[in-house]
Structure 1
Amino acid sequence: MNPIKNALKSLSVTTTNVIVALIFFIITAKISNPAFFGKVAIIQLLEVVTSAFFYFIPGAIITREISYLYARKEVNKSIIGKFLSFPFLAIPFFLILLIFPNYVKLAIPYLFLYLLNNVLTAIIIGMDMFTESAITGNLFLIIRWGISIIAVLLHNIYLFIEIWTLGGIISVSMNYAFLSRKVGLVFPSPDFAFLFKHFREGLPLYLSSLSGFFSSQGDRVTTAYLLGSYYLGIYQFSALVAGVPSMILGALGNVLLPTASFYKALGKDEKKMSSLSFRLLSLLTFLAVIISIPIGEIVINRFFPAYKAGLEVFIILLISTTIPFSIGSLTNFIIAAKKDLRPFLILSVLNGSLVVLTSYLLIPKIGIMGGAISQIIVATISSLFVLFYAIRTSVFIPAKKELILLSITPLIGAYEIIVDPVFMDFLIVVVIISVFKLFKIISEDEIRIIEGFLPRGLKFVSTILRAIS
């Protein structure tokens, strides 16, 4: 289980997503309007609904359990079949969508495939099958954003959903084939005692996901309800562009849970793993925020002039989704260490309530900016909670180096909101690199550990790390 090689494979999917989606949005912006984009945003919103409401055994629990078994060479078809059965048991719940407009009804098969594919992906990455996951993910994204341009040209939301459904069928089929080749032919086999055990164990995460839906999507729902699909299109577009840096970082973070679970099962110390991961991800997070904001502004101004009204929203949403990433990554180590997850439910309920409340209070007064402010409030609260709980459970013990990075994090967020000139961004990059070098944030011993995972083509990374350490 090599975290760096796996991160690169995961990153390939994110890179494809960014490139193909950018082409899709450029074409959509030229030949369509925010109202059509708002319908696309509703389908994407239904994906989030599916993950939040119908993912009864959270993917994190599935990946952790499979990773533990894989490390001990105990994975078998029976356990995999049991996990694969629960999306089929969720089919009756999808029928709730029959009360919605026709194009939403048509999306039901796609949403089921989306759920099933997520479960398959959680299983195969737990078995260190990141190559197979990357192949399937890249193909699906090409269909999702590339071929669906045909539907945009025809202004046909029904054809759009049918193309996404085709992508879902191909993706599920490929992941199933890869899995079957690894362990043999697998069939869903419901075991209610087994499923209930893992449902109960993952219940705090599941309930947190429900509440998290309102904290992450409550601003979109409120925008759609109060302002209509036009402003939802602008807001959702700003959110998608702002989410690119966190998507890229997420590709790196996706390997943390299976890797931490794998090595925890082999007896490794999660405190050392979490500390080094936090420091490396902090460096990448700081650079991602500083570089992405001016690039995003250029992209929106140059290619998407119809969405310029969302520029300020874009900046705040980018900060709220990206700055907390290194702290949020500690959640993977909490789950891998099998700590009590019930406190996350309290956090999610609080966050969901705050987003809905602040959105209803702010959006009527200041428009879509109110939704962005809601998100930055939630991001701050979530980060403080995860940090506090990681320390309390002894999964993460911040020393001098970690405290320095924790103190810098909010300063960079405030700086990017207040300061505008691009040349100042270059200055802050120099300051961050100087801090890493002055305080030796990454030690020589840790660089040698990283070198052990680096593929031959990335040996230059250790040279860069030495230069700033």
Structure 2
Amino acid sequence: MNPIKNALKTLSVTTTNLIVALIFFIITAKITNPAFFGKVAIIQLLEVVTSAFFCIVPTQIITREISYLYARKEIDKKIVEKFLSFPFLVLPVFLILLLFPNYVKLAIPYLFLYLLNTVMIAIMVGMDMFTESAITGNLFLIIRWGVSIIAVLSRNIYLFLEIWILGGIISVSMNYAFLSRKVGTLLPSFDFAFLLKHFKEGLPLYLSSITSFLSSQGDRITTAYLLGSYYLGLYQFSALVAGVPSMVLGALGGVLLPTASFYKALGSDEKKMSSISFRVLSLISFLSVIISIPIAILVVDRFFPDYEAGIRVLILLLLATTLSFPVISLTNFIIAAKKSLRPFLVLSLLNASLVLLTSYLLIPRIGIIGGAISQVIVSIISSSFILVYALRASTFLLGRKESILLAMMPLIGVYEVFIDPPYLDLLLLLFVILLFKFFKILTVDDVKLIQSFLPSRLKFVISILKVII
């Protein structure tokens, strides 16, 4: 289980998604009307609803359990078959979509395939099958965004969905073939006691995903309700651009749960694992913020001048999602250590309430910047909550180096918000490098550990890291 190689494989899928989806949306926006664009957005929203509401056994639980079994060489195909069964159990719930417009009805087979594929990927990454999941993930995205351009050109939403269904069938079939080759021919095995056990264990995460859906969309809903579609467009555009760094970081962080579970099953200390992960991710997050903000401002100024009014919103949202990432990633080690997940339900309820309350209070007074401030507030509270719980659960050790990095997060945020012009970020970049070097945030042993996982083509990274140790 090599976290760096696996992160690169996952990053390839994220990169494909960013490039192909960007081309798709530019073409769609240029040659179709808002009504067609809105139908595409509804299908995407149904995907989010499917992940939040219909994934009754959270994928984190599936990946953790499979990773433990894989590390101990105890993978049993019966366990895999039991996890694969629950998408079939929730299939009847999709029939509620028959009450909606015709094109939404056609989405039922696609959403089922989407859910089944999500479960398969969770199983595959637990068994270190990142290469296989990257192959099917990239292929699906090319069909989803690339081939469906044909439907956009003909302005045919039904053809659009048929292409997505085809992509789902191909992706599920390939993943099924990969899994069958690994553990044997698979058939869904309906063990209600097994599923109920894991549903109860993952219930806090399941409910958290539902409330997270509300909290992530609360600022958008409030903006649309109070300010109208124009300001929602500004806000949504800013959110999409601001979310690019966190998408890339998410690809890197996506390997933490299977890796932590795998090595925890082999007896590794989660405190040491979480510490080095926190320090490395802090370096990447800091550099991402410092580099991304000037680039984002330049892109908006040069290519999207109509959205310049949302630049401040973009900066705040980028800071909220990127700077907090090292702390949020500690959640993976809590789950891998099989600590209680109930606090995450409390956190998600708190986040949803705060987003709605602060958005409702701030947006009428200061406009869309109020929605961004709402997300910053929630990010600070979430990070603080997770940090405290990780310490109490003994899955993270707050030493001198970690404390310095935690102190740097709000300082970088304040600097980026209040310091102009953007070219002064070069000073901040130099300061971060010197800080890592002066306080020896990364040690020689850390670099040796990273080097042991690096593929040969990336050995130059070690030369860069040696500059700051």
Task: Normalising by structure 1, report the TM-score.
Answer: 0.95
Specify whether residues 35 and 316 from structure 1 end up closer, same or farther in structure 2 by C-alpha distance, changes over 3 A only. farther
Alignment of 1:284-323 (within 5 A): 284-323=284-323
CA distance in 1, matches of 2:161, 2:42: 11
CA distance in 2, matches of 1:243, 1:227: 22
Which segment drifts farther, 368-377 or 447-456? 368-377
Q: Letter of the aligned partner of 1:434 in structure 2?
A: L
Q: What residue is the counterpart of 1:251 in the other structure?
A: 251
Q: Percent of counterpart pairs with the same letter?
A: 74
Q: Letter of the aligned partner of 2:193 in structure 1?
A: A
Q: What residue is the counterpart of 2:170 in the other structure?
A: 170
Q: What residue is the counterpart of 2:387 in the other structure?
A: 387
Q: What residue is the counterpart of 1:431 in the other structure?
A: 431
Q: What residue is the counterpart of 1:181 in the other structure?
A: 181
SS of 2:260 mapped into structure 1: helix
Q: What residue is the counterpart of 1:443 in the other structure?
A: 443
Which segment drifts farther, 279-288 or 30-39? 30-39
Alignment of 1:417-428 (within 5 A): 417-428=417-428
Alignment of 1:22-421 (within 5 A): 22-32=22-32, 36-226=36-226, 231-421=231-421
CA distance in 1, matches of 2:381, 2:141: 33
Task: Give yes or no for contact 1:5–1:453 (8 Å, CA) kept in 2.
Answer: yes
Q: CA deviation at 1:452?
A: 1.1
Specify whether residues 151 and 386 from structure 1 end up closer, same or farther in structure 2 by C-alpha distance, changes over 3 A only. same
CA distance in 2, matches of 1:90, 1:11: 31
Which segment drifts farther, 372-381 or 388-397? 372-381
Q: CA deviation at 1:226?
A: 4.8
Deviations 1:322-372 (A, max 9, x none): 111011010000000001110111111011111122233334444443332
Task: Give yes or no for contact 1:214–1:353 (8 Å, CA) kept in 2.
Answer: no
Specify whether residues 2 and 125 from structure 1 end up closer, same or farther in structure 2 by C-alpha distance, changes over 3 A only. same
Give unpaired runs (5+ residues) of structure 2. none
Q: CA deviation at 1:38?
A: 4.3
Task: Give yes or no for contact 2:24–2:145 (8 Å, CA) kept in 1.
Answer: yes
Specify whether residues 244 and 117 from structure 1 end up closer, same or farther in structure 2 by C-alpha distance, changes over 3 A only. same
Q: What residue is the counterpart of 2:2 in the other structure?
A: 2
CA distance in 2, matches of 1:372, 1:396: 30
Q: Letter of the aligned partner of 2:434 in structure 1?
A: S
Specify whether residues 222 and 187 from structure 1 end up closer, same or farther in structure 2 by C-alpha distance, changes over 3 A only. farther
CA distance in 2, matches of 1:262, 1:369: 42
Q: Letter of the aligned partner of 2:47 in structure 1?
A: E
Q: CA deviation at 1:87?
A: 0.9
Task: Normalising by structure 2, report the TM-score.
Answer: 0.95
Q: CA deviation at 1:206?
A: 0.7
Task: Give yes or no for contact 1:38–1:232 (8 Å, CA) kept in 2.
Answer: no
Which segment drifts farther, 51-60 or 228-237? 228-237
CA distance in 2, matches of 1:129, 1:455: 17
Q: CA deviation at 1:53?
A: 0.8
CA distance in 2, matches of 1:118, 1:149: 24
Specify whether residues 281 and 458 from structure 1 end up closer, same or farther in structure 2 by C-alpha distance, changes over 3 A only. same
Which segment drifts farther, 10-19 or 256-265? 10-19
SS of 1:90 mapped into structure 2: helix
Query: Matched residue pairs, number?
Result: 469
Which segment drifts farther, 67-76 or 414-423? 414-423
Deviations 1:222-262 (A, max 9, x none): 44555566654443333222111111111111110000000
Task: Give yes or no for contact 1:86–1:195 (8 Å, CA) kept in 2.
Answer: yes
SS of 1:243 mapped into structure 2: helix
Q: CA deviation at 1:411?
A: 1.3
Which segment drifts farther, 63-72 or 37-46? 37-46
Q: Letter of the aligned partner of 1:172 in structure 2?
A: V
Specify whether residues 94 and 257 from structure 1 end up closer, same or farther in structure 2 by C-alpha distance, changes over 3 A only. same
Task: Give yes or no for contact 1:260–1:273 (8 Å, CA) kept in 2.
Answer: yes
Q: What residue is the counterpart of 1:458 in the other structure?
A: 458
Specify whether residues 48 and 74 from structure 1 end up closer, same or farther in structure 2 by C-alpha distance, changes over 3 A only. same
Q: CA deviation at 1:406?
A: 0.3
CA distance in 1, matches of 2:154, 2:307: 22
Which segment drifts farther, 96-105 or 136-145? 96-105
Task: Give yes or no for contact 1:241–1:296 (8 Å, CA) kept in 2.
Answer: yes
Give unpaired runs (5+ residues) of structure 1. none
Deviations 1:424-445 (A, max 9, x none): 1111110000100000100011
Q: Letter of the aligned partner of 1:52 in structure 2?
A: A
User: What's the RMSD between the two structures over aligned residues?
Assistant: 2.0
